[in-house]
A and B are shown apart, each in its own frame.
Chain A
Amino acid sequence: MSDDVFTQLVDAHYASLYRFALSLARNGADASDLVQQTFFVWATKGSALRDGSKVKSWLFTTLYREFLRGRRRDSRATSIESLPPGEQDIAAEDVDRVARMDAPAVMAALQSVDETFRAPLTLFYLEELSYLEIAEALEIPIGTVMSRLSRGKSQLRAALTTAERGVGDKVVNFTVKGGAA
């Protein structure tokens, strides 16, 4: 593969993939491993992909599969159907809260969301994939994507509220642009 071509592919996607991996793996080292493994799989299996428009979702799909393969599903991931519907309302206070919080606190809140909701939620916030592409990347139906986004946002708002009150129990190390948190 041409160095330029591979470099462009990496440059276009590795940061977003890292953020997605960070939300899943909950620590930077595992996130880096996941991103490297994703591009390793691309280098060895990417030739099977014929449609160039699918490269991005292929990379996210591969990263997610690698993540799932690397750990056992926890019990929460299988109990989605028993969860109550997501709370639809959002207050202006919720918006102000996010603005007040620092990035590591927001990421920690996101990481506290159930994994079932966290993957589509992160892809949504990264704004890299549409709901259709998220469905394809995570290999779930479109309606399920919308349901998980709705419920995931509800969980995230609750987690952000808890975090701002200072009762969160997540301690995660991050690298943030401009310095370490």
Chain B
Amino acid sequence: MSNNEAKFLLNAYRANGADAAEPTFAPALAQAKADPALGAWFAREQAHTSAVAAKLREFAPPVGLRDAILAGGRATASVPRRTARLNLGQWIALAASVAVLFGAAYSLRPRSRELTSAALTAFAMDDVRHGRHGAHGDAEKALQVRLGQSERLSSGLPISYDEMEKSGCRSLTIAGHEVIEICFARNGAEFHCYLARARDFTNADEPDGEARFSTDGPLAAANWVSRGVRYVLVSDAGVNAVKRLL
């Protein structure tokens, strides 16, 4: 690799070090360490990049932009797409309408009876096996951001059950019992998490504790309780992949 080739690659190396583990840059980085002239160029390049980046970070979005986005985004969660842009008043009106709909849906939801954790696990695995899972609400996609960043799930999802219930995620009724489901990807594998209120289960008094694992063909599941919510996590990536999330 010539120095010009190394420079070509290193021009795409971020100054914050986020690309340190990227194999594409390894040979060029090694060459920069071995060649003082190339190393000096790289140091100047990184300093220049950092200086420009720092200047750009000084720009703050205008006051009010965030609130306008939030008002509009909430309102459009369940309305047909429009090609025309909406003004702030229209955003707010839509937001109010959706809030009313969420409230009505909540008040009319069916009452649940008791359910066993084994039944929920069996249902979840069957649900995943037949591809009926996920992609039923915008909230699921946004939640994936948080789930992708969460280190462990043994203490539950980084969002309360009440919030999940109102989020527009896929909601199911099993024997008159509400179950919420969300899909997400981590480490290249897909996971499906089913949540229900622990108090509605026959073993409602089960304390928070170790997860129980089970497998069925290519699917693995973990079943545990945390802070009043029973979780069933299913994946086709194997039981070790499931364990790594807990």
Contacts and interface: CB of A to CB of B under 8 A. Distances in A.
A15 B137 contact: no
Question: Interface extent on B, as a size class?
Answer: 35 or more
Given A40-B76, A95-B51, A18 B142 contact: no
A51 B22 CA distance: 21
Interface of A: 1-12, 14-15, 18-19, 22-23, 28, 32-33, 35-37, 39-47, 49-53, 55, 88-92, 94-95, 98-99, 101-103, 106-107, 110, 122, 124-127, 130-131, 145-147, 149-150, 153, 156-157, 174-177
Contacts of B135: 47, 50
Contacts of A127: 14-16, 18, 53
A46 B4 contact: no
A158 B53 CA distance: 17
B52 interface: yes
B53 A126 contact: yes
A101 B16 CA distance: 21
Nearest to B47: A95
A177 B58 contact: yes
Nearest to A45: B81
B56 A107 contact: yes
A19 B141 contact: no
Interface string B64-97: 0110111011111101111001100000000000
B30 interface: no
A16 B81 CA distance: 25
B100 to A, nearest CB: 14
Contacts of A44: 76, 79-82
B73 A43 contact: yes
